[in-house]
């Protein structure tokens, strides 16, 4: 072994869902939105002056920060933006989790959290969700260096109400509590309204799911100004220009069109509820979903087998070969047409057993 080899930071990277490119495929594996971004985004693209790319973008990302502040009735100094919520969360881990005590997050949750904890050498403990994939609040009453809660949770789709979040915050006023709300727009109630009450709360959201802009890479954090200042300090110590000019301009357009946003959300929720009823008839069960996906298990047929069967029909869903969830499929809600095709194929697979 070379001497330098022992000085290398070795990490086991996060594995994102595959991005296949197969003609006629139905892609329900990475929780993207099946509908296009707001029409204003397309207009802004058509009118975009390429000359703008000569210059560095505004490092404070002011136009986007102001638009988000306006939308959520917050002050601009309570808003931080980054390159997808993955970037925002990574910055938040780096900024807020520097204790010797372990940070806490559930055993089954967004699988990037333990990757960042390893990368940044943050000790962590993962209390187990109960058998219904719900968090046990008392697991989060012990001393800790911070808490991360995905609410609604991924990949389980289940949601904890605001009283639950308030309770966790009240028990943990000495540490930062990050609430990752990547899916909150699909029927949950955001913890943003708790920001005035709790100075230790950081709410993180994304344009990737409810705003149909996963390809643009925009995420944001909301919290009191002291938290936003320090996370900005860390960002400016790492990379001043995280937000490119197009993200800033197109992101603003996506936030402006509230009517279109609500239309898309409602369509996805309606499709979700309909698909759940049909899947139950086929012998599936799932936790109640407040997200744009369903986390389903079949009473007889192993999930891995269904996963393969769907793939053979060019339908991509997500399967996690991990303890406790290896008999579940995570299925993104697509268009009605896509979901009808899924249901048809599932029916055939179930019948042929
Ligand atoms: C999708 C997702 C994210 C990351 O989204 P970005 O595309 O990086 O904004 C973060 N947390 C959870 C729980 C997610 O499902």
Q: Atom 1 in ligand 1: which residue has the minimum CA distance?
A: 182
| Nearest-angstrom CA–CA distance, 23 and 112 | 30
Residues 155 and 203 both lie in one domain: yes
Query: Does the pLDDT of residue 176 top 90, yes or no?
Result: yes
Residue with tokens 């997500």: 318
Residues 210 and 333 both lie in one domain: no
User: Mind listing the pLDDT tens digit for each residue in 229-246?
Assistant: 999 999 999 999 999 999
Cis peptide before 155 (omega within 30 of 0): yes
Q: In what order do the strands lie in the sheet with 103-104?
A: 79-82, 219-223, 201-206, 177-180, 146-150, 103-104, 124-125
Residues 316 and 192 both lie in one domain: no
Domain of 151, in residue numbers = 39-257
Residues 119 and 185 both lie in one domain: yes
User: Mind listing the pLDDT tens digit for each residue in 31-77?
Assistant: 999 999 999 999 999 999 999 999 999 999 999 999 999 999 999 99
Q: Ligand 1 pocket check: which of 19, 90, 110 to mutate, most ligand atoms within 8 Å of Cβ? A: 110
**pLDDT, position 150:** 98
Query: At 343, is the pLDDT very low, low, confident or very high (cuts 50, 70, 90)?
Result: very high
Query: At 142, is the pLDDT very low, low, confident or very high (cuts 50, 70, 90)?
Result: very high
Residues 195 and 291 both lie in one domain: no
Q: Ligand 1 pocket check: which of 85, 111, 156, 251 to mutate, most ligand atoms within 8 Å of Cβ? A: 85
| Nearest-angstrom CA–CA distance, 347 and 279 | 9
Residues 210 and 294 both lie in one domain: no
Report the pLDDT averaged over residues 132-138. Answer: 97
Q: Residues with Cβ < 8 Å from 346, sequence gap 6 or more?
A: 279, 282, 284, 306, 310
DSSP string, 310-341: HHHTTEE-EE--STTTTT-EEEE---HHHHHH
| Nearest-angstrom CA–CA distance, 172 and 174 | 5
| Nearest-angstrom CA–CA distance, 5 and 98 | 26
Q: How many domains does the chain have?
A: 2
Residues 24 and 90 both lie in one domain: no
Q: Ligand 1 pocket check: which of 80, 160, 180 to mutate, most ligand atoms within 8 Å of Cβ? A: 180
210, 232, 257 — which closes off a domain?
257
CATH number at residue 207: 3.40.640.10
Chain-wide mean pLDDT for the chain? Answer: 97
Residues 221 and 288 both lie in one domain: no
**pLDDT, position 1:** 81
**pLDDT, position 353:** 81
257, 272, 292 — which closes off a domain?
257
Q: Residues with Cβ < 8 Å from 153, sequence gap 6 or more?
A: 106, 108, 109, 110, 129, 133, 135, 159, 160
Q: How far is residue 21 from each of residues 25, 34, 63, 345, measured CA to CA in Å?
A: 8, 15, 34, 20
**pLDDT, position 208:** 98
Query: At 320, is the pLDDT very low, low, confident or very high (cuts 50, 70, 90)?
Result: very high
Residues 53 and 125 both lie in one domain: yes
Q: Atom 11 in ligand 1: which residue has the minimum CA distance?
A: 182
239, 257, 275 — which closes off a domain?
257
Q: For residues 214 and 37, is the Cβ–Cβ distance under 8 A?
A: no
User: Would you call 26 helix, strand, or coil by DSSP?
Assistant: strand
Report the pLDDT averaged over residues 305-317. Answer: 97
CB atoms within 10 A of CB 304: 13
Residues 206 and 312 both lie in one domain: no
Report the pLDDT averaged over residues 83-106. Answer: 98
Query: At 18, is the pLDDT very low, low, confident or very high (cuts 50, 70, 90)?
Result: confident
- Enumerate helices (H) and strands (E) in the chain, giving the number of each: 10, 13
Residues 49 and 94 both lie in one domain: yes
Report the pLDDT averaged over residues 279-300. Answer: 98
pTM check: above 0.75: yes
CB atoms within 10 A of CB 215: 9
Ligand 1 pocket, Cβ-based, cut-off 6 angstroms = 31, 84-86, 110, 150, 154, 180, 182, 206, 208, 214, 219
**pLDDT, position 264:** 98
Query: At 17, is the pLDDT very low, low, confident or very high (cuts 50, 70, 90)?
Result: confident
| CA 189 and chain centroid, separation | 15
Query: Does the pLDDT of residue 221 top 90, yes or no?
Result: yes
Query: Does the pLDDT of residue 16 top 90, yes or no?
Result: no
User: Would you call 147 helix, strand, or coil by DSSP?
Assistant: strand
**pLDDT, position 172:** 98
Residues 228 and 276 both lie in one domain: no
| CA atoms lying within 13 Å on the CB side of residue 296 | 25
CB atoms within 10 A of CB 124: 19
Query: At 15, is the pLDDT very low, low, confident or very high (cuts 50, 70, 90)?
Result: confident
């Amino acid at each position: 072994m070379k001497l330098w080899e022992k000085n290398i930071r070795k990490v086991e990277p996060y594995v994102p869902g595959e991005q296949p490119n197969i003609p006629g495929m139905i892609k329900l594996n990475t929780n993207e939105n099946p509908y296009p971004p707001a029409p204003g985004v397309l207009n802004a693209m058509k009118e975009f002056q390429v000359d703008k790319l000569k210059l560095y973008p505004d490092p404070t990302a002011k136009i986007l920060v102001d638009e988000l502040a306006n939308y959520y009735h917050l002050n601009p100094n309570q808003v931080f933006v980054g390159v997808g919520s993955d970037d925002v969360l990574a910055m938040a881990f780096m900024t807020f989790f520097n204790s010797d005590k372990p940070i806490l997050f559930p055993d089954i949750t967004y699988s990037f959290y333990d990757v960042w904890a390893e990368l940044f050498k943050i000790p962590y403990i993962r209390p187990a969700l109960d058998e219904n994939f719900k968090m046990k609040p008392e697991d989060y009453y012990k001393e800790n260096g911070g808490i991360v809660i995905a609410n609604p949770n991924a990949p389980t789709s289940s949601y904890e109400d605001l009283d639950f979040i308030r309770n966790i915050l009240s028990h943990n006023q000495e540490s930062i509590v990050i609430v990752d709300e990547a899916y909150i727009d699909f029927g949950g109630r955001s913890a943003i309204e708790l920001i005035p009450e709790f100075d230790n709360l950081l709410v993180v959201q994304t344009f990737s799911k409810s705003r149909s802009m996963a390809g643009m890479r925009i995420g944001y954090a909301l919290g009191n100004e002291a938290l936003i200042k320090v996370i900005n300090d860390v960002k400016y110590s790492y990379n001043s220009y995280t937000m490119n000019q197009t993200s800033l301009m197109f992101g603003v357009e996506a936030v402006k069109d509230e009517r279109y946003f609500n239309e898309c959300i409602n369509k996805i929720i309606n499709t979700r509820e309909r698909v759940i009823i049909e899947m139950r008839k086929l012998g599936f069960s799932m936790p109640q979903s407040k997200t744009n996906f369903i986390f389903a298990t079949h009473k007889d047929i192993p999930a891995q087998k269904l996963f393969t069967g769907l793939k053979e029909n060019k339908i991509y869903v997500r399967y996690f070969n991990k303890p406790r969830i290896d008999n579940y499929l995570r299925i993104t809600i697509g268009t009605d047409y896509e979901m009808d095709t899924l249901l048809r194929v599932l029916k055939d697979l179930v019948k042929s057993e």
